[in-house]
């Protein structure tokens, strides 16, 4: 019976597979060493001197003693209490992230749908042949737009906006929304294309049009993963919003930078903990919601 | 249809509704070759056929009622599908419920499909197949991973439904005993060829041996 | 089956959490937009549009600006642009490119080393007394077991907390904090990226270990293998997924490495910063585009590698 040959071929394939994986791991390790070599050749991998380590030590020693009130004597009259300022900065971070995502997600859904090929590659009679022919036309432009949008880091978008029209609140939202729409769109289109098609094929075999099969049998299978990835991206948006504060908007990053420049480490740790709490809450919430969706953990 | 694995039973079933195009020869339904028929007529023909794949191909994230209503997509367009998803017509829901009751899982109407057991999911797949009132039901290994008692019940249910609703039933089976005991016409497939097409009573032992015999050349490949 | 459709519909399972979450998100979105100072007039307005026109003009390469125009048909024009670009590359451009790539690679490798080590104590099915990996229960003293439970749980939670903190702080922030102390070299950038991504890979690795089908590990544990022996034996089956995660994070590291230069570390980002400081918007645009190209190349490489791993 060919089962013996099959299992032998199977084992051979497994061995080859393990060999390929080992090759990949080896290549990664080699690349790592090469990078280290290059950087030290450029003179960039110097070990820190004693004073640097002292500075770090001082910084980390404040980790367990975050400030609850201003440490600096130069606080302007009428300034709000420190914790209130922390809360406001946290809220502004959330606000920026939410506004950016609320733009990015709808755009990403459109782009992702346009950049997916599953809906016009489904076998079966097309209810509206027009839509079918539209598919390949929008596919390439959608992918190009998404790629352009996401190849430029949000900080660089912010820089471009800053130089062009100044970094107003709207510009800050756009600086995050544009690359995020590109990334979300690309991931959405991949998830749509990789969703299992067995149900859709069954439906078209029983007389459904491609549009019907797609909307009822393909899309619902991709949606849980898409939702899970959106939650993950929101967490990233919170971080990006915080960092954008380095450039002007009143988010946590701005105050962290100011605190560091004035060596107010205790205050700095207060802001860091606020950021930490923000991420932790968002993480817990998204995990609880993801359990409902039974989605996979995204890694991108 | 009976025969060893790899005989081509699934392929034959899937070529009956055109999902797999015939490499040679053709499939004729209502006197028209499937390959000759235009898109619209193909769709109409397909809506008169129902196919239950071995893995059932339900949409796990949807509620049972949505999965059953999907069986009626042979008519209408995108809007029909969206209605089934969001706000189905009362008459449709009632019909789905009655079908589910007939196959024994009526109370699962609004459950999420992936929360059902394997047997229950199969019942749902049957209800979906029946929703549009097909004239031919194709079932691929409906009782492959089911214990013998349950298998007999399921097949008897399919046969009852076929008699009640007046459709033809084409089923591929592993279990020769069930096939001989319940069905009126047996097709024997082996490595893509039809070995016999007869009533169970006419089936001889030598034909059965030919069907399930181990190939001598395969014997040599064994170590 | 006496129930009717209506009754079934009324008693159908509905997720309260999902509904509450949907309302909360909607409220958050509305509130965020309303309480902010967002207005399109901030982007528009005549003066701003004029500024924008001037700005886009300044994005063109300097020689083109001097000429006053660019003729796409003229090879001489293309030649001037090429010379200008080549000069930029020679004058630190290629060095920055190499540095950026090296930072990204080294940081990802370090992150994987640390993260995929830390993921084991962070996995709930490993960091627990005797029946680890879902192995056979050990009959024994209950008091000892309770203490062991507590100790393992403490280890597990502290590792998870550290990983959470590492990834809660954005890379840029870590780099900012480290650059001042460690000097304007690549070291703080590498450490910052490595720290943040170790947190992420550690968390993802822990989830992979937790979701692993327990059959093989259970068999090993039943045969008496210790925790580390079981982990070593099980690791190859987890490797494909861990490699996929690695490549996804590598793509992100490439993105971040370009930008970290804005803190002073030699990478494309530092060149961008210098160009902006000198109002040399054409160079700025060139480096931004170069960064984008590098990100794209990285994405392509990663996609190839992931395809290799998936097919293996």
pLDDT digits (tens, 9 = 90+) for C96-143: 888 889 999 999 999 999 999 999 989 888 877 766 665 555 555 566
Could you give the domains of chain B? 9-222 (3.40.50.300)
CB nearest to A212's CB, from B66, B77, B214: B77
Is the pLDDT confidence value at C299 over 70?
A: yes
Q: Which chains touch A (3 or more CB pairs under 8 A)?
A: B, C
**CA pair distance A194, A49, nearest whole angstrom:** 51
pLDDT more than 90, % of chain B: 13
- Using a CB–CB cut-off of 8 Å, the residues of C that contact B are 1, 3, 5, 8-9, 11-13
Three-state DSSP state, B68? helix
Taking contacts as CB-CB distances below 8 angstroms, the residues of chain C near B101 are 1
Q: Which chains touch B (3 or more CB pairs under 8 A)?
A: A, C
Q: How confident is the model at residue A254 (pLDDT cuts 50, 70, 90)?
A: very high
pLDDT of residue A299: 35
**Chain A / chain B CB contacts < 8 angstroms:** 110
Report CA-CA distances (Å) from C101 to C110, C175, C243, C258, C266: 14, 17, 19, 8, 11
Contacts 24+ apart (CB under 8 A), A84-92: A85/A255, A86/A255, A86/A270, A86/A271, A86/A274, A87/A274, A88/A250, A89/A245, A89/A250, A89/A251, A89/A252, A89/A254, A89/A255, A89/A271, A89/A274, A90/A252, A90/A274, A90/A275, A90/A278, A92/A249, A92/A250, A92/A251
Q: Are C190 and C261 in contact (CB under 8 A)?
A: no
φ and ψ at B138, to 5 degrees? -105, 125
Cβ contact, residue pair C172, A147, below 8 Å: no
pLDDT digits (tens, 9 = 90+) for A133-187: 777 888 989 999 999 999 899 998 998 888 777 778 888 999 999 999 999 999 9
pLDDT of residue C104: 92
**A39 Cα to chain C: minimum distance (Å):** 7
**A148 Cα to chain B: minimum distance (Å):** 33
- Closest chain B CA to residue C10: B110
pTM: 0.84
Is the pLDDT confidence value at B3 over 80?
A: yes
pLDDT digits (tens, 9 = 90+) for C150-186: 888 899 999 999 999 899 989 999 898 888 778 788 8
pLDDT digits (tens, 9 = 90+) for C14-52: 777 778 888 888 999 998 888 876 666 555 566 667 777
CB atoms within 10 A of CB A181: 27
pLDDT of residue A1: 43
pLDDT of residue B137: 92
More confident: B211 or A29: A29
Taking contacts as CB-CB distances below 8 angstroms, the residues of chain C near B97 are 5, 8
pLDDT of residue A247: 87
pLDDT of residue A94: 94
Helices (H), A115-167: 118-121, 129-151, 154-165
pLDDT digits (tens, 9 = 90+) for C219-229: 887 787 777 88
pLDDT of residue C195: 94
Cβ contact, residue pair C37, A102, below 8 Å: no
The set of residues, in sequence order, having a beta carbon less than 8 Å from that of C183 and lying 6+ positions away, is A46, A48, A49, A52
Q: Are A221 and A144 in contact (CB under 8 A)?
A: no
B62 touches chain C (CB under 8 A): no
pLDDT of residue C1: 45
A185 touches chain C (CB under 8 A): no
* Mean pLDDT over each residue of chain B, to the nearest integer: 85
**Chain A / chain C CB contacts < 8 angstroms:** 215
Is the pLDDT confidence value at A231 over 80?
A: yes
Retrieve residue B129's tokens: 């197949």
**C37 Cα to chain A: minimum distance (Å):** 6
CB nearest to A156's CB, from C103, C190, C259: C259
Cβ contact, residue pair B214, A203, below 8 Å: no
* Mean pLDDT over each residue of chain A, to the nearest integer: 82
Q: How confident is the model at residue A109 (pLDDT cuts 50, 70, 90)?
A: very high
pLDDT of residue A294: 55
Domain ranges of chain C: 84-117+171-311
Q: Are C3 and B107 in contact (CB under 8 A)?
A: yes
Cβ contact, residue pair A170, C40, below 8 Å: yes
B129 touches chain A (CB under 8 A): yes
Query: Which C residues in the span 78-137 are in contact with A, Cβ-Cβ below 8 Å?
Result: 95, 98-99, 101-103, 105-106, 108-110, 112
Taking contacts as CB-CB distances below 8 angstroms, the residues of chain A near B222 are 1-2, 4-5
**A183 Cα to chain B: minimum distance (Å):** 25
B17 touches chain A (CB under 8 A): yes
Taking contacts as CB-CB distances below 8 angstroms, the residues of chain C near B106 are 1, 3
B70 touches chain A (CB under 8 A): yes
pLDDT more than 90, % of chain A: 27
Helices and strands (H, E) in chain B, number of each type: 10, 7
Give DSSP secondary structure letters for A218-258.
IHHHHHHHHHHHHHHHHHHHHHHHHHHGGGSSSSHHHHHHH
Q: Are B61 and B70 in contact (CB under 8 A)?
A: no
Q: Are B197 and B177 in contact (CB under 8 A)?
A: no
**CA pair distance A1, A8, nearest whole angstrom:** 12
Q: Minimum mean pLDDT among A198-202, B216-220, C273-277: which range?
A: B216-220
CB atoms within 10 A of CB C135: 21
Place of tokens 């600096």: A72
pLDDT of residue A298: 38
Strand residues in chain C grouped as ranges (E): none
B136 touches chain A (CB under 8 A): no
Taking contacts as CB-CB distances below 8 angstroms, the residues of chain B near C12 are 63, 109-111
Cβ contact, residue pair B106, C1, below 8 Å: yes
A258 touches chain C (CB under 8 A): no
Give the bridge partners for B194, in sequence order: B189
CB nearest to C32's CB, from A45, A95, A253: A95
More confident: A62 or B123: B123
pLDDT digits (tens, 9 = 90+) for B34-63: 877 877 888 888 888 899 998 888 888 888
pLDDT of residue A111: 92
**Counting every residue, how long is chain A?**
300
Retrieve residue A149's tokens: 């949008």
pLDDT digits (tens, 9 = 90+) for C75-90: 777 787 888 888 888 7
Superfamily of segment(s) C84-117+171-311: MetI-like (1.10.3720.10)
**C12 Cα to chain A: minimum distance (Å):** 16
**B58 Cα to chain C: minimum distance (Å):** 19
CB nearest to B111's CB, from C1, C3, C13: C13
Taking contacts as CB-CB distances below 8 angstroms, the residues of chain B near A291 are none
**A31 Cα to chain C: minimum distance (Å):** 7
Q: Minimum mean pLDDT among A94-98, A186-190, B79-83: which range?
A: B79-83
């Amino acid at each position: 019976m060919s089962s013996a040959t099959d299992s032998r071929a199977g084992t051979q394939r497994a061995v080859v597979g393990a060999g390929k994986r080992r090759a990949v791991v080896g290549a990664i390790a080699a690349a790592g060493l090469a990078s280290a070599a290059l950087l030290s050749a450029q003179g960039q991998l110097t070990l820190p001197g004693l004073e640097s380590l002292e500075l770090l030590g001082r910084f980390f020693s404040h980790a367990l003693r975050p400030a609850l009130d201003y440490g600096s004597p130069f606080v302007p009259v009428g300034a709000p209490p420190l914790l209130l300022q922390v809360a406001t900065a946290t809220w502004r971070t959330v606000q920026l992230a939410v506004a950016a995502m609320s733009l990015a997600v709808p755009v990403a859904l459109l782009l992702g749908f346009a950049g997916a090929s599953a809906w016009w590659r489904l076998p079966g009679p097309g209810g509206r042949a027009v839509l079918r022919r539209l598919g390949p036309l929008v596919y390439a432009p959608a992918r190009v737009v998404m790629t352009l949008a996401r190849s430029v880091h949000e900080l660089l978008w912010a820089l471009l906006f800053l130089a062009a029209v100044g970094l107003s609140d709207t510009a800050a939202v756009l600086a995050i929304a544009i690359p995020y729409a590109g990334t979300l769109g690309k991931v959405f289109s991949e998830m749509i294309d990789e969703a299992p098609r067995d149900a859709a094929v069954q439906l078209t075999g029983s007389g459904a049009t491609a549009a019907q099969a797609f909307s009822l049998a393909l899309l619902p299978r991709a949606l849980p993963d898409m939702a899970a990835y959106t939650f993950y991206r929101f967490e990233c948006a919170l971080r990006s919003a915080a960092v954008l504060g380095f450039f002007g908007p009143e988010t946590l990053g701005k105050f962290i930078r100011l605190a560091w420049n004035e060596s107010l480490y205790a205050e700095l740790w207060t802001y860091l903990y606020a950021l930490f709490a923000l991420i932790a809450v968002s993480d817990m919430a998204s995990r609880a919601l993801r359990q409902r969706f039974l989605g996979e953990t995204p890694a991108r | 249809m009976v025969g060893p694995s790899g005989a081509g039973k699934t392929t034959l079933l899937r070529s009956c509704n055109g999902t797999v195009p015939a490499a040679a020869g053709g499939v004729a339904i209502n006197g028209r070759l499937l390959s000759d028929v235009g898109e619209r007529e193909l769709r109409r023909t397909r809506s008169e056929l129902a196919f239950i794949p071995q893995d059932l191909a339900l949409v796990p994230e949807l509620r049972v009622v949505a999965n059953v209503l999907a069986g009626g997509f042979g008519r209408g367009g995108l809007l029909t599908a969206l209605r089934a998803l969001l706000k189905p017509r009362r008459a449709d829901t009632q019909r789905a419920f009655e079908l589910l009751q007939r196959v024994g899982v009526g109370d699962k109407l609004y459950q999420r499909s992936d929360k059902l057991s394997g047997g229950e999911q199969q019942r749902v797949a049957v209800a979906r197949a029946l929703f549009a009132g097909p004239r031919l039901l194709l079932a691929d290994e409906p009782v492959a991973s089911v214990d013998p008692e349950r298998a007999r019940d399921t097949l008897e249910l399919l046969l009852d439904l076929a008699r009640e609703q007046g459709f033809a039933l084409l089923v591929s089976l592993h279990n020769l005993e069930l096939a001989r005991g319940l069905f009126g016409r047996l097709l024997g497939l082996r490595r893509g060829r039809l070995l016999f097409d007869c009533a169970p009573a006419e089936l001889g032992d030598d034909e059965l041996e030919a069907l399930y015999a181990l190939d001598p050349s395969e014997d040599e490949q064994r170590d | 089956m006496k129930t009717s459709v209506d009754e079934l519909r009324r008693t159908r399972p509905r997720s309260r959490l999902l509904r509450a979450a949907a309302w909360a998100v909607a409220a958050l979105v509305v509130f965020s937009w309303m309480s902010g100072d967002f207005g399109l007039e901030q982007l528009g307005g005549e003066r701003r549009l004029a500024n924008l026109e001037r700005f886009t003009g300044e994005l063109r390469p300097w020689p083109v600006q001097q000429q006053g125009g660019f003729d796409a048909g003229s090879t001489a024009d293309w030649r001037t642009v090429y010379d200008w670009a080549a000069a930029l590359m020679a004058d630190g451009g290629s060095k920055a490119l190499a540095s950026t790539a090296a930072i990204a690679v080294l940081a990802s490798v370090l992150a994987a080393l640390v993260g995929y080590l830390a993921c084991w104590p962070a996995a709930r099915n490993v960091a627990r007394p005797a029946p680890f990996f879902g192995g056979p229960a050990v009959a024994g003293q209950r008091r000892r077991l309770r203490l062991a439970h507590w100790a393992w749980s403490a280890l597990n939670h502290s590792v998870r907390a550290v990983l959470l903190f590492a990834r809660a702080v954005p890379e840029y922030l870590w780099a900012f904090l480290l650059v001042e102390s460690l000097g304007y070299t690549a070291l703080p950038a590498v450490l910052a990226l490595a720290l943040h991504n170790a947190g992420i890979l550690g968390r993802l690795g822990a989830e992979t270990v937790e979701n692993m089908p327990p059959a093989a590990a259970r068999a090993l544990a039943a045969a008496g293998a210790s925790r580390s022996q079981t982990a070593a034996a099980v690791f190859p089956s987890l490797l494909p997924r861990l490699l996929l995660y690695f490549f996804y994070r590598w793509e992100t590291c490439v993105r971040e490495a370009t930008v970290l230069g804005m803190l002073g570390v030699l990478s494309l980002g530092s060149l961008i910063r210098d160009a902006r400081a000198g109002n040399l918007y054409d160079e700025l645009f060139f480096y931004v585009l170069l960064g984008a190209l590098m990100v794209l190349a990285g994405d392509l490489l990663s996609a190839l590698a992931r395809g290799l791993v998936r097919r293996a």
